[in-house]
């Protein structure tokens, strides 16, 4: 996609035959559309959709049958080509900014759970006061959620059992303290 889109920057700035423009823009248009609108990463690319749509709109002018364009002597003005390049630069800048903050891995959704919570803050899937009541369980719950996200069920089970142990130890400790309390 990057190589095909970068060909837009290689277009000449002066008046050029439509055929010469179309040969370079049609593959770029297809790659851009697939990358932004037909990808599993679409939710991470939401900020890019508007500049991508504007660039696609600009590229639409050069769509058509290449064979028909061979005989056609239409010329695209240099100002139109420069405008197209400007649209590409805007898209590229927004894409770079979006990719800098995007997750660098893809985790398929697991039911109704937030992928971000599963991979970054699994303890948030449990009771809000869990960290206060059983701080020893938090790290294992966080790791169990990551294991669920990355489809590692055995490891998730291991961490969930460790979290259970921490909860039971906390309950036993509380029972011991209550049994020793003066009446």
Q: What is the pLDDT of residues 97-139, one digit of tens each?
A: 988 877 666 788 888 888 888 998 888 888 888 888 888 899 9
What angle do the packed helices 153-180 and 135-149 form, to 10 degrees? Answer: 170
- pLDDT tens digits along 44-73: 788 899 999 999 999 998 988 887 778 888
- Name the band, by pLDDT with cuts 50, 70 and 90, for residue 182: low
pTM passes above 0.95: no
Q: Is the CB of residue 48 less than 8 Å from the CB of residue 36?
A: yes
d(CA 32, CA 13): 22
User: Which pLDDT does position 140 carry in this prediction?
Assistant: 94
Average pLDDT for residues 78-90, to the nearest whole number?
Answer: 95
pLDDT recorded at residue 107: 80
């Amino acid at each position: 996609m990057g190589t095909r889109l970068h060909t837009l920057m290689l277009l000449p700035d002066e008046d050029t035959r439509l055929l010469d423009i179309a040969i370079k823009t049609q593959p770029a248009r297809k790659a851009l559309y697939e990358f932004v609108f037909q990808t599993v990463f679409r939710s991470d690319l939401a900020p890019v959709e508007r500049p991508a749509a504007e660039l696609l709109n600009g590229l639409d002018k050069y769509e058509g049958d290449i064979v028909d364009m061979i005989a056609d002597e239409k010329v695209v003005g240099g100002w139109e080509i420069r405008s197209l390049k400007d649209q590409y630069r805007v898209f590229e800048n927004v894409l770079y900014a979006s990719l800098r903050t995007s997750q660098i891995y893809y985790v398929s959704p697991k039911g109704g759970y937030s992928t971000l919570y599963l991979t970054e803050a699994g303890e948030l899937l449990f009771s809000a006061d869990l960290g206060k009541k059983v701080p020893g369980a938090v790290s294992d719950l966080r790791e169990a959620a990551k294991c669920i996200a990355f489809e590692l069920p055995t490891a998730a089970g291991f961490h969930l059992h460790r979290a259970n142990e921490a909860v039971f130890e906390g309950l036993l400790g509380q029972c011991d303290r209550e049994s020793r309390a003066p009446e």
